[in-house]
Chain A
Amino acid sequence: MLMHSSASLAAAAELNAPSSLRAKAASGDAAAQLSLAMALRDGKGAEKNDAEAMQWAHKAADQGHAGAMDFIGFAYLRGAVVKRNPEVAFGYFKAAADESSQAAFNLGQCYFGAQGTAQDCTRALEWWVKAADQGHGRAAATAAMAYHAGEGIPRDAVKARRLAERAAELNNPAGLVFLGELQFQAGEFEAAKASWIRASKLLPTQATGHPSQPSDNASAQQAADLLRIMNYRQRKGEPGKFAHVPMPHILQGYNNCGSTACATFARFQGSEICGWDFKKLCPSPLGTGTDWGHLLDASAKIGQKWKLTTFTPDEEGFEKATAMLRSELDDGRPVVVDFKYIGPQYPNGSAGHTLSVCGYIAEEDLYILCNPAVATPGLQLITAADLKDFWRSDHYGALSKGVLSRPAFVIDRS
């Protein structure tokens, strides 16, 4: 009665003709029903129709198809096709997690990010490891990062390395990126290079990436970025030419970029705090965005001295902002910034994101980000043009009151 996701993928590959897919789905074939639901959701091979996609997914799920339950759960988690409901999403993942490694991965995400359930990082790791055992590369990579950072669980470098190697075995781009990072940090430069080359060849890459691309593509791009800055990371900075401030690698949970970026910033300054612990110093619940005012208050609670500075969103403001950035980076200090992504792929048309800038390469007009992004945490390159475009925010905190500006946290040296 139950089908594994690999079987459904095989079925999906066979059934690329929409009419035969429809016929097979209508005859009650659960794998075909799910394939049709995917086609309808993504508008690939069929005209996009979210409502019908959900109907077919429910039919397959009623037959006990774990992949279909995961599909429905993900729709509720994202809130893109149906109204977001993390509790219901959590329920579907839980119902499917024993049979679907993707659902097990998502269930881990829910436990880690307090989505539809109380946070339970230990259980999150259990599910990720289980999914990794079943061949889920991203689950292995995510678990590796959690053990490395000690995010919500005790740090365990051995488990982190083993899981990163498992993710690499499974050819997961994020896993290869992270394994490369571990290798780089251990001084195994050739091995790191090999891991990143492998990752960068898994999917097409460009000169620099864009946040709207799918996460696996973003990982391949990240690997290409890491190869590009590999030499810079091994050299001493040259003021005015390039700078790179080494940052710790930590893992973000769902909707926890602000606290994670701030925890990374604090760790850079010698704190031991993790993203979740930073979040817990703020009044907003886990799994929700964090006001920058609360982040600043939290930094004071752990003895950090930061200040909030803003620049105008225009050309002149960007000039001043980047001058400040380069000056800070030349002096060996990263800067926390807030981005606004605009596009139809985001619920409500836009999304905010908090991250750090930890380097620049003047001659290529590139900046190095330390990005807590869910799928691709770590270093990434961004062009000055994209930085100008994204480093703007009108909702970073109560302080912004809807006024667009370029906000930043810098270390207060007064």
Chain B
Amino acid sequence: MNRHRTHTLWIAFILHRFSGVALVLFLPLHFYLLSMVLTDPETVDQLLHWTKHPLVKVAEFGLVFLLSVHIFGGLRLMALEFLPWASWQKTMAAFSVAVSFLISCTFYLSAV
């Protein structure tokens, strides 16, 4: 990584960008699968069988993390732009990652 980018808030930026793109790629697939409940319920049942696979559970952990980090990262950016300036920007970024990790871990533990 270029050395002008090695600081917390640039990493927070790229995490927000990456999670956004990943969710954009995931959501059409997700909605497609949901629509199949109406059009092709047998295939959906077969596919849902896969969710018991440990690898899929890890992937779900990742997905919940991305979703959560994008939500909290977005709230952080809205606070940055619309609230009076706060000096604890790095803390906010760290907080959004920490809360997301907590949420996705909780999700993972309840899934396994």
The answer to whether A and B assemble together is: no
State the A residues within 8 Å of B (CB). none
State the B residues within 8 Å of A (CB). none
